[in-house]
Amino acid sequence: MEMRDNNDTIVAVASGVGGAIAIIRVSGDKAIEICDSVTRCRSHKRLADAKGYTLHYADIVDESGRIVDDVIISLFRNPVSYTGEDMVEFSCHASSYIQKEILNILVNNGARVALAGEFTIRAFLAGKLDLSQAEAIADMIASTDKASHAVASNQMRGGYSSDFIDLRSKLVELISLIELELDFSEEDVEFVDRGALLNILEQIIFKVDTLKSTFSLGNALKDGIAVAIVGSPNAGKSTLLNAILKDDRAMVSDIAGTTRDVIEESLTLNDVRYRFLDTAGIRSTDDKLEQMGIQRTFSSIEKAQVVILMIDSVECISVESPQGYVNSLIDALDLDSDKEVILVFNKLDSLAKIEVEAMKLLETTFSTNGYSVVSMSAKQGVGIDLLRDILIDLVDTSKLYTGCTIVSNARHYDALNSAFKSLEIAKQSLINNISSDLLSQDLREVLHNLGLITGDITTDDILGSIFSKFCIGK
């Protein structure tokens, strides 16, 4: 991490690329003074004399007196601003030349270019928001659909933090009861009965476990649900992909290879984004790897939460044991138990009536064994709706819009896992009547881990690693 001096007055472009207007923010002790020296308000007033929450129409001038742009200035005074410091925001014309010039002029007059996330670090240090709220701001900016927006929004507005504050205060209460016992241990009296302590501890464990269990949903919603379509060559994977994306052409996006290393397409169903992995592999028909049974799929299977196994019914029905054939395909995928598998029996249109009956029996067998099953003609668009419904049903969005706490941040999940482990140890210690000092050590470890989430406990390293992922200007 580069050097960060919190006493500097910092400046950065806060708006994105394009558009007609850009926003340049300045924050720090000297923000108003610096801005006064490079602007001429049309009202002939000085910003130094103006109140916070006021707007000013002004020209920005460089050292030679040249007018670079006319801007609207929003003035915020310490402590009522995003960072808690004096802040000035210029709404200027969005030319990249103008933006660069204004930055230069401000830097020449004593401001420093801000580091990534530096405005938000200051907001955090000023106590405007806690760490989980600061992280939610980055998630909010990155949100692409109603579901990921809802997760970030709840976290940003502090509903999330209040859960952790409650948890910490319960824990502090428990620790103080135990440490009270320690302080008076000489006197050989037991203050609180261990059954009561266990009761409080179990409530805390239950809460941490509940929070932990929301992560798979939260993480999936934040990044979109990853879906891999796999199956033998010619099973109809690309036909299915085209069919399922067809109605949502407007929603389909090609994400260039750089960030995720594969080309993928995504589709929003019922507010949730589904990402179809490695669709380049599915689509390229001259790919050598297509020669190999189930091809190119293992890396995308590993990343996927949902695996759609396409089965060519014509081929399936022609072998001696269709059930064995499907089982061998499933086995070949070597799936972890946490993945949702959807079996799609494709090319139903090419089957004779009697074969359709046989396939129906096969489907019943697999759905009785717990698989989601769809019979389909991808080519004719039959069964696509059912598949969509199954995808939608995989995600329970009911918790999303009721303000329930959903953990979507991997850093928080790690901290919760560590907290959970220490809680389990503490529980055993309590049950086995292990001495209070060890017990209190374990519980302090839990307190530490929960503190990492909200930022009650931070180090410069933690702040550095979190905020370096922010965009400049935030």
| Contact between 340 and 307 (Cβ < 8 Å) | yes
Q: Which residue's CB is nearer to ligand GDP, number 14 or number 235? A: 235
DSSP three-state, residue 395? coil
Shortest Cβ distance from residue 380 to ligand GDP (Å)?
6
Q: Which residues touch 256 (CB under 8 Å, ≥6 apart)?
A: 263
Q: Tell me the two tokens of residue 417.
A: 């896992």
Phi, psi (5° rounding) for residue 441?
Answer: -60, -45
CA angle 264, 266, 267 (to 5 degrees): 160
Shortest Cβ distance from residue 346 to ligand GDP (Å)?
5
Shortest Cβ distance from residue 369 to ligand GDP (Å)?
24
- Tell me the CB-side half-sphere exposure of residue 461, using CA atoms within 13 A: 1
Contact positions toward ligand GDP, by CB under 6 A? 231, 233-239, 282, 346-347, 349-350, 377-379
Count of helices and strands (H, E) across the chain: 19, 14
| Contact between 268 and 300 (Cβ < 8 Å) | no
Shortest Cβ distance from residue 322 to ligand GDP (Å)?
17
- Exposed e or buried b per residue across 294-326, where buried means at least 16 C-beta atoms within 10 angstroms of its C-beta: bbbbeebbebbbbbbbbbbbbebbeeeebeebb
| Contact between 277 and 266 (Cβ < 8 Å) | no
Q: Which residue's CB is nearer to ligand GDP, number 199 or number 380? A: 380
| Contact between 94 and 20 (Cβ < 8 Å) | yes
Closest chain position to ligand GDP (CB): 236
Q: Which residue's CB is nearer to ligand GDP, number 99 or number 346? A: 346
Shortest Cβ distance from residue 301 to ligand GDP (Å)?
15
